[in-house]
A and B are shown apart, each in its own frame.
Chain A
Amino acid sequence: MNRMTATECLLEMCEEHLELEDYQSGVPRWCTGCGDNAILAAVQRLCRDEGLRPEKTVFVSGIGCSSRFPHYMKTYGFHGIHGRALPVAEGVKMSRPDLDVFVNTGDGDCCSIGAAHWIHAIRYNMNLTVFLHDNQIYGLTKMQASPTSPIGTKSNTTPRGSMLEALNPLTVTLGVQNVSFVAQAVDWVPELLYDIVKAAYHHRGLSFVRIVQRCPEWMPKLHDPWLHDPNRVQVLHHARGLQVSAALGRVYRNQLEHDPLDLDAARRIASGNDAIPVGILYHDPEVPCYEDFKRSTLLRTPALIRSGLQAQFDKFTVWPKAAEVETAQQAA
């Protein structure tokens, strides 16, 4: 066996360079043209560029088309139950802060069945990177209106058109206390998608990225007006946010300088309903992470548990005293 020193081992680890293939697992079974493919490509690129160790990386998902995501990553993955990706991911992160934890969730998973967890995950602000794959329809169960479906959407459960206004995931998220990172991307601008995913990864706290995503199967024409008119995509840029490359700037001319620390402005932008804002809406790196104050800083050794337990036992122990008492009574 070839023996190496610890330093050599470390050096080798540092030098080990992983390629895209090292993060790829299986052939995605999403439909051709599905926005999930673009998200997968951006995330695999992120893993490679950041040199994430596959064994120290966990993708947690719920149920739905988007939630197949972990199966296509050669990392650890957790494909759980509908709506509960966030609490599962919180448990993973709380138990193992050394792991990079990502969450892939859809508009049904996050904004409908898992909505309570979504609100509270924002408030906990654990160090997780959350991708909301929002195709505005239930895909895996074959076309039912989702909370983010535009009003009037004809689907199998709303054959005469949905009657409720769509829920806006950005304004909801921006309305929750402790929100620390909110961004929006569209699947058809890969360069910005990658930049946003990367910024989200680097934020310490819960980064919430809504990715407007095409569903060629059930909503094939929904985004055509935005695809065909780059001016209906409003690119947000700032010294503290995204910087737009010259090449991209020539296509996407509708740009807005927006300071990600300005929550009021972020809410205003998020509430607009014509152009799709793309970029970082809000970013406050100072919001404390739940795990930081929740996790004990003590080293959990058997000795610590022993002494902690003994201290508790002491509180509740009755020592045999009857003998002494009797002696005292007799003396009296």
Chain B
Amino acid sequence: MDTVVSPPTTVKPAATARPEATARTMLTLREHIVEIISDSGEGAQRCGQSLGAIAARMGNGIWTTEIIPAEIRPPARSVAGASGNRIRIGAGPITNGGDETDLVVAFNEQVLLGRVRAKELKPGCIILLESMWRTHGDAQIAASYVEAHDKLVAAGYRVIEVAMEQECKALVADAKRGKNMFVLGILCQLYSLDLQIAREQIALTFGKKDESVIRTNVMLLGAGHAWAATNLDFGFRIPAERVTVPQLVINGNTALALGVMASGMEICAMYPITPATSASHYLSDVFEKVGGLVHQAEDEIAACAFAVGASYAGKCAVTITSGPGYSLKQEAIGLAVMGEIPLVVVNVQRGGPSTGQPTKAEQGDLMTAIFGSHGDAPKIVIAPSTIEDCFYSMITARRLAETFRMVVVVLTDGGLATSQQPFARPEFSESWLAPPIDQSPVPEGARPYDWDPITGLSPRFIPGQPGGMHTLTGLAHDRDSHVAYDAEINEESIRARSLKLAALQTTLKPPPIFGADEGDLLVIGWGSTKGAIEEAVQALRDEGRRVSSMHLQFLQPMQGGVGAAMRRFQSVMTVEANWSDRPEDALIDDDNRRYAAVATLLRARYLVDVDCWSEVRGQPIKPGTLRRVLAAKLDAITAPVGSPT
């Protein structure tokens, strides 16, 4: 979606106060991307989240993305230290973070330079810049501010200097801490957001603190609002399509945690790791209110083993982690596979390998999720593609784990974890919950691994059930759970555990196709890229291009119908946020190109020449980037034979 009207070209410097009566240019937009950045701990995050929530309450579609430095306290005023939030506000539903930023509020020029270098700002982007540095006592700081300011102006950005801290000083003692709410006021005025809703949002945000905190922040909000009305001669309006249902505005990790509560699981065992931990933070705060608990184990291995033990003895438990932690859990996951113990493992993927990029998003763990552990260890792997999905995936995962006595790996990523997107408030259903654990006597002659010859399924005995006593073992075992090194029994048990995946697969519907059922190009994605892929595909379809997309929710087993769908298109490619070799690299050819994960899987299963495009920039893939990539691919496909591509 593009802006209907281009941003204003004339903006007076803020230093010149304007009489209130001046006529303002009001522009009506389809959408805008706003970001607020500061040094860590200056409140830009909170300002951005509040702005998103206010817009959502207005009925706008939003997608908020956190801008997180890798360190807790990076040096102040550093290029790599930008911390803040990016809000895409739209008239209709927004499914992803979008492209470059239209308007940015920066608390210092250095964090802003970082964003410019990362090419995150649109050419000509409006910049509201804290001007206190211009007169800073340290001549070096003042000089660097002036230099940066002048460069930005020369580069065509519309820089508006705002004396934020100075304005706040007149109102509060600690202006440094209050200016985020002053900025929120400016933004509410700029985007014609309702001040009363903003006040209510502040009351909600600071609800835990005392009344005076709320009062102070509401006062700052009002001051910012009034300042903008007086000093800025432009404003925007993003008319909201009316939302008629209550919506939740949460990020993916909060949605995961709420999903855990809603699934009827009782125990979450974890070890701190970025970016998964915030799910456990939230769960630690609220899980006990529904009778659950979060165990912070001594390490990732113990967290997984603890969850395995808890699952074995009762209801399915969950362990939540990110890449490196996921690696550490592999042996215990293998045990759960072997013992057929239900288990939910969430991997909030980050950049890898090794410590990699802890705060960044990537989809690099699919292969390890499917093929990880050792030996033949079939697991179910699902990937939520929206914030709403993060919630419902946990309910699905718990149910699948218990029905199939399997490990279910839920793959989200750092992008979903920290992004907010409103979705319809779920209506609780008792069917989400696990039934109470079975403590009835086991029928005489029943065996703990009575594998069904067709589905591989077998009923599970839970401690406490009279007559069901047996020793679960990680060793190869027979139907009685007796250790067995016998060749026949070993194959029979491996076959049974494998068949369960097929049994599940036969129950899955083919993934829906976005766009027409046939055409020149089918784009296949999975996980957090859904919104960006569909936005790019829609834009190209609007231009008349014959492109469609398909998004995989189940990666293992893969939903049926994928092969048939692929064959209805002239060409197929995946879009993923993991590494694939670039065909243009000198050494890369058909014999050695490493494809992106899902492309590799699809090629192997369907013998279709699936191409891929991927990037590992740590940022969510932008719809604009994809649009260019897909357009180029379409050009190549549809070019007449023999013509240069």
Residues of A within 8 A of B (CB): 25, 53-56, 58-60, 63, 70-71, 73-81, 84, 86-96, 98-99, 116-117, 119-120, 294-296, 298-300, 302, 304-306, 308-313, 315-323, 325, 328-329
Contacts and interface: CB of A to CB of B under 8 A. Distances in A.
B466 interface: yes
Contact of A94 (B289, B295, B483): B295
A90 B301 CA distance: 13
Nearest to A297: B291
A7 B17 CA distance: 88
Contact of B312 (A92, A116, A311): A92
A320 B428 contact: no
Nearest to B255: A316
Contacts of A70: 471
Residue among A59, A80, A329 having the largest count of chain B Cβ atoms under 10 Å: A80
A91 B469 contact: no
A25 B295 CA distance: 34
A296 B197 CA distance: 37
Interface string B458-480: 00000111111111111100000
10 contacts: A55-B467, A56-B463, A76-B463, A87-B298, A95-B310, A116-B298, A309-B261, A312-B286, A320-B242, A325-B58
Interface stretch (B172-180, B221-229, B243-251, B515-523): B243-251
A218 B309 CA distance: 33
Given A300-B266, A320-B59, A95 B313 contact: yes
B267 A95 contact: yes
A70 B483 CA distance: 12
B310 A92 contact: yes
B232 interface: no
DSSP class of B's interface residues: helix, strand, loop or mixed?
mixed
Interface in B254-308: 254, 258, 261-262, 264, 266-267, 269, 286, 288-293, 295, 297-299, 301-303, 305-308
Given A117-B298, A319-B246, A300 B290 contact: yes
Contacts of A298: 288-291
B471 A99 contact: no
B473 A305 contact: no
A147 B288 CA distance: 40
Interface in B51-96: 53, 56-59
Contacts of B288: 296, 298
Contact of A99 (B293, B303, B313): B313
The 3 closest A-B pairs by CB, nearest first: A91-B309, A77-B471, A322-B59
Contact of A80 (B303, B335, B426): B335
Contacts of A84: 301-302, 305, 331-332, 335
A76 B470 contact: yes
A120 B298 CA distance: 7
B313 A87 contact: no
Given A80-B474, A84-B335, A91-B317, 12 more contacts: A53-B466, A71-B483, A77-B472, A87-B305, A91-B307, A92-B313, A304-B291, A316-B248, A318-B249, A319-B246, A321-B59, A323-B242
A318 B425 CA distance: 9
Contacts of B266: 95, 300
Given A80-B474, A87-B302, A320-B244, A94 B267 contact: yes
Contacts of B467: 55
B91 to A, nearest CB: 11
A79 B332 contact: no
A96 B463 CA distance: 9
Contacts of A96: 313-314, 463-464
A74 B466 CA distance: 11
Given A88-B308, A91-B309, A95-B317, A316 B292 contact: no
Contact of A309 (B58, B290, B297): B290
Contacts of B299: 116
Residue among A87, A299, A320, A321 having the largest count of chain B Cβ atoms under 10 Å: A87
B-side interface size class: 35 or more
Nearest to B463: A76
A71 B313 contact: no
Nearest to B335: A81
Given A75-B469, A94-B295, A294-B293, A56 B335 contact: no
B161 to A, nearest CB: 31
Interface of B: 53, 56-59, 194, 196-197, 204, 240, 242-250, 254, 258, 261-262, 264, 266-267, 269, 286, 288-293, 295, 297-299, 301-303, 305-315, 317, 331-332, 334-335, 422, 425-426, 428, 430, 433, 463-475, 482-483
Residue among B426, B463, B467 having the largest count of chain A Cβ atoms under 10 Å: B463
Given A296-B291, A318-B53, A318-B249, A55 B466 contact: yes
A317 B312 contact: no
Contacts of B475: 79
A89 B286 CA distance: 25
Nearest to B448: A76
Contacts of B53: 318
Contact of B240 (A87, A294, A322): A322
A321 B197 contact: yes
A154 B174 CA distance: 70
A54 B471 CA distance: 12
A308 B290 contact: yes
A2 to B, nearest CB: 16
A75 B481 CA distance: 13
A55 B53 CA distance: 52
Given A304-B291, A308-B286, A318-B56, A76 B469 contact: yes
A87 B301 contact: yes
A94 B293 contact: yes
A312 B289 CA distance: 10
B306 A87 contact: yes
A34 B473 CA distance: 22
A56 B261 CA distance: 28
Contact of A322 (B243, B303, B311): B243
A116 B470 CA distance: 29
A309 B428 contact: yes
Contact of B464 (A56, A78, A91): A56
A20 B269 CA distance: 37
Contacts of B307: 91
Given A76-B471, A80-B335, A322-B240, A312 B258 contact: yes
A144 B299 CA distance: 27
A54 B465 CA distance: 10
A55 B59 contact: no
B306 A312 contact: no
